[in-house]
Amino acid sequence: MKLALFFTKGVSLKLYEKIGSLDREIKLYQELAKYFDKIFFLTYEGKDDLKYQSFLPENIKILPNKQKIPSSIYSFLLPFLYQKELKGVDILKTNQMAGSWAAIIAKFLFRKKLIVRQGYQLSIFAQKKGIKLLIIRFLEKLAYRNADVIIVTSKRDKKYIEEKYNILSEKIKYIPNYINTELFKPLNIPKENRICFVGRLEEQKNLFNLIKAISDLDIKLVIFGNGSQKKDLENFSKRLKADVEFKENIPNKDLPKEFNKSKLFILPSLYEGCPKVLLEAMACGLPVVGANVYGINEIIKDKENGCLCGTDAFPIRKAVIEVLNNKGLQKKLSKNARKTILEDFNLEKIMEKEIEIYKTI
């Protein structure tokens, strides 16, 4: 059995390394390679991506953008440039909606099975950002109607696709994001007086309200990540005299240590898909606080495996104080967070679900 994975438009192995997520993103396919004769990675970087071949099993082959054609054009040319390889595969799979048309074109050209996998619904995220939805919804409809199987990481996304695009429930499979629980686990290291956030420094993450919420608390906020709001967030924290430390992206394999050094992880986003970083923090047995919004409240059960809060500064502050001042609650959240990941999100179980889909189609 042979699989072709179409990377999200503009995304590459080089980009994964730059943002610190290379290990996380390729882990599933390193394991799946045991069950496939060949897996192709169709990426958007030039020949530089080939240097990552050493990270992969021999039967995973990288197919890069050798001519360095602009991503928007390359996404349409890709099926033709690699038609020899694509003719020989059994299954085509997308990673996100952006660029999925490359796989759809390949399906029509070579009559292959198509799995459309979505970590989040682009039309929901676009709506939140005020982007015009007509083209995005047309693309989603096109992809879902032509898919043999649709994989979503959220049960709410499954319902959304059923109702919005009139897709049969049996065609949509819920497979959440996976966590390597051997890497992300509780470590016996001293705690520092800090809470942490990991992610893109963009409007979606609601970081101004987070900084405001902790500005007068006797605890440091450590923010890992980069984004367009970084400079403004740094200036804002200085004006409020908030104890905030900004750090660059770090490799995914280094995150368990940073989580375990923290007393609390917080994700105050305005909306999410199935946030991997939240799952990783929970796998480390870290008490977590998350906004009571789409994508987060499907994972966090309030006061059971984490705490939910509003998106404004005051409810965020209130939730942080409640967790930090209650040792019994911390212990309960820590234990149940780890248990949730082991039962529902660990890599082995997710891989079994994926393999079953490949065998079925």
Give tens-digit pLDDT for 277-304.
Answer: 999 999 999 999 999 998 999 999 999 9
132 has a pLDDT exceeding 70: yes
Rounded to the nearest 10°, the torsion over CA 99, 18, 285, 273 is: -20
258 has a pLDDT exceeding 90: yes
What the block records as the tokens of 169 is 């429930």
Q: 79 lies in a domain?
A: yes
Same domain, 87 and 154: yes
pLDDT at 126: 82
pLDDT at 124: 85
pLDDT at 294: 87
pLDDT band at residue 77, thresholds of 50, 70 and 90? very high
β pairing state of 113-118 and 149-152: parallel
Average pLDDT over residues 201-216: 96
pLDDT band at residue 254, thresholds of 50, 70 and 90? very high
Average pLDDT over residues 113-118: 96
What the block records as the tokens of 301 is 């059960």
Q: 183 lies in a domain?
A: no
What is the count of structural domains for the chain? 2
Same domain, 152 and 251: no
Q: 189 lies in a domain?
A: no
Same domain, 210 and 225: yes
Average pLDDT over residues 157-168: 95
pLDDT at 128: 66
CA distance 48 to 41: 14
pLDDT band at residue 23, thresholds of 50, 70 and 90? very high
Name the least confident of 129-133, 151-155, 181-185: 129-133
pLDDT band at residue 129, thresholds of 50, 70 and 90? low
pLDDT band at residue 175, thresholds of 50, 70 and 90? very high
Q: 235 lies in a domain?
A: yes
Closest CA to 44 of 95, 1, 86: 95
Q: 184 lies in a domain?
A: no
Average pLDDT over residues 139-150: 96
State the residue range of the domain holding 353. Answer: 2-178+347-360
Q: 146 lies in a domain?
A: yes
Same domain, 64 and 142: yes
Average pLDDT over residues 257-262: 97
Same domain, 161 and 205: no
Same domain, 198 and 338: yes
Same domain, 171 and 221: no
Query: What is the CATH classification number for the domain harbouring 327?
Result: 3.40.50.2000
Same domain, 299 and 355: no
Q: Which residues contact 188 (CB under 8 A, 6 or more apart)?
A: none
Same domain, 251 and 268: yes
Q: 106 lies in a domain?
A: yes
Same domain, 309 and 331: yes
- Is the separation of the CB atoms in 283 and 259 below 8 Å? no
pLDDT single digits (tens) 316-335? 999 999 999 999 999 999 99
Mean pLDDT of the chain: 95
3-state secondary structure 55-102: HCCCCEEEECCCCCCCHHHHHHHHHHHCHHHHHCCCEEEECCCCCHHH
130 has a pLDDT exceeding 80: no
Please name the residue that has the structure tokens 């799979």. Answer: 93
Same domain, 171 and 206: no
Per DSSP, the three-state class of 265 is strand
Strands, E assignment, 121-224: 149-152, 172-174, 194-198, 220-224
Same domain, 79 and 201: no
